[in-house]
A and B are shown apart, each in its own frame.
Chain A
Amino acid sequence: MKIRVILQSLFIILLFLIFFINLNSQRISTTKHNLSSGGSGTIKASSESEICIFCHTPHAAKPRNPLWNRDDPGITYSLYQSTTLHASLGQPDGSSVLCLSCHDGTIALGKVASRSTNITFNSGITTLPSGRSNLGTDLRNDHPISFLYNAALAAANGELRDPSQLSGGVTLSNSKVQCTSCHDSHYSIYPSFLVASTQRSGLCTNCHIRTNWSTASHATSTRTWNGSGTNPWPHTSYTTVQDNACENCHNPHNAVTPVRLLNQSGEENNCISCHNGNAASVNVWNEFASTRTSKHDIASYLGVHDMAESTIPSSKHVECTDCHNPHQAASNSPAATAPNASRLLRGVKGINLSGNAVTNVSYEYEICFKCHSSASWRQQAYITRQIVQTDTRLEFQSNGPSFHPVAAPRGNSEVPSLISPWSSSSYMYCTDCHSSADATSSQKGPHGSIYSPLLKKRYKLTETNGQNNNDATDFALCYTCHDRNTAGKGILQNMSFRYHSSHVVDEGVSCSTCHDSHGISSSQGNSTNNSHLINFNTSIVSAYNGVLRYDDTGVYHGRCTLVCHGKAHDPYTY
């Protein structure tokens, strides 16, 4: 009996509470957009209890729909701009003006048409306080809005979904992208009133379909930040590269670098914040250390690189994105073999062996040729030689008299020193010689080295007459592929040239004095005088009686006419 009374009492009390308490199950009431005194956010009115009133009024509304209760800001905004933007941006229109009537920070939140005096807010707040949601009147660092998103735009951009295929919550308003395309001001199912989750950039990818993105490292890596240094993900709560996805680098609002809405200032800093060992598995930034005097010095250029620049840039510079495409780069697995470009270089533009621009390189050297072929500002000759050629592309042509097999296999059987698996049919990468000198690094990239010109290992280019070179480290680079002294094949075994040992060891001659390691172009050299990469260093070797020449006289035989360190070869034959 007693239990029954208690249960009945509880039931009646419950009914009583339901009757008197407004069981507010409405969604906006629980969001930050409930600016009423009953709101749950930190910005709220001191006593106004109505929720809708801050934006809407049932009568005498402002001209804008839906039943707007606020003034238009009447501001001319600075708009997003980028050289790769295909959309035509106008001043904010449609519902975006409504959002900006609070979010540009110029109009008091409590200034509504249906009240004769401004609604007052707690803590004396009038306009939207500064912070991520206050966009200001400079919208250059915000994702563009109020532009027509039609099939033509998708086609022009090339990496936008056709607007008829939009799904997943993103909507257009009168065929335009507006604030409401990503945000639904009434519902906060996802943070920041977003219409879809930003995890793995589920929201962004409704519109942005980047080639190869689904397999790119920035979309798939589960690496986390170790908490040191700059937070690579300053505006998200996600903790892995995979979850941050687009937002690893981009920030749709109040981006630090406005153009392309980047998280960090300074192009490379967007990469370094992870690739300094704090998130990415390899500390690539270490390869650009000040001790690495020969490097692709990404930190010394600012604002020169542009995504829309011509394939051969008009101004000298280098940034990470000149060689890597962060939307497509993936781990080099399965490992590429020369000359094919690694997946780390996927989606990068380049110059092919014929000198034509390609959108996506097939071969690694095509990236190098962007700057190291016909660019007017290209690196000048590092070593003064008989035949001067600074267009590297011409040095590797397959019809040249001799060349290292970067763009074509050499097919030269007169190279007994090759260490297996190298053979006369092998290809090699530029980066087999030019790469970061870091034995512990799994990276092959030409980032930075203590050996100039950006060489993987030591290559002694200078020489002093009579200096003994009997040190395997002097030409460690060459000896990587060419056996130094193994019986039956080593360079110093004098097989291909029976005076290798006396030149290199006894006289201290550098390989570079006689050999031009890239190659000799067909327009400048010939197979008699320039086989075996012979192209003398004229700062060391001079003419004898007006003749400075090498003659190939058959397999392992030749003739040199020159003067070297005062010693006349008049001519010497072997």
Chain B
Amino acid sequence: MRNNFDFSKRNGAGRGDIVLGVFALFLLYLLYSSGFFTAAAWQDFNRRFYQNFIKDRRYMMLVDGLKATLFMTSGATLIGLTVGLILSVIRVAYKGGAPIPVLNKLANTYITVLRGTPAMVQLLIWNFTIFASARNLNTQYIAILAFGLNSGAYVAEIFRGGIESIDPGQMEAARSLGLNYTDSMRFVILPQALKNVIPMLFNEFIAMLKETSVAGYIGIDDLTRAGQNIQALTLEHSQPLVMVAIIYLVIVLFLTHLVRKLEEWLSRGRR
């Protein structure tokens, strides 16, 4: 799963770079012709930047929002991994002949329902129906539960795919050496399956980071909502949300970079 987008190793500019360059020049021209680079415009930009982010330490609203976003993402991912692992083991074991038809049916239903409905609808149901009377509960925990259980259904499919992607011959070879089923799983199948799915689990984390942006709907001041809160204070329509988008993008790019490094590290020893 090597990526083909490693610009650092490419010699010279490709066609994509030229298109991007032309596009950037065009944007610059537009900005220039609309007076963006005049001193007055620059002063106006600075004034609004001050209003939105510096005055009354409003940047702290974004920082706190980011904390809430990262907290929810991490918590939900942990729940998702746990639930997903349990679900996938149930399904693989059932397929392998374990007598657990009821558990398997439950797992299948869980996965179908949670993958077949929007995460945001699930979030609203958790908050306004299931936990409607739990007023003292921190809504962030409700969000973690909702996003985590939702993610579990996807992670289950990732794990199951990972285990099933391993050549059945691997299990046969392990068994032919006298290893029992559990040992074969533990020493031969799962290490390979896990290695295959780690990048996908990271991607699930990245998707979750963006997914939590709807948490504002149940009154959580996450990063997105923090941007809206600043908007409400300053009546400023663009800067806060663009800033929020930039913050998301920087984090996603950083995590994506980590996944690529991880993939390279994992594929060492492979041709």
Do these two chains interact? no
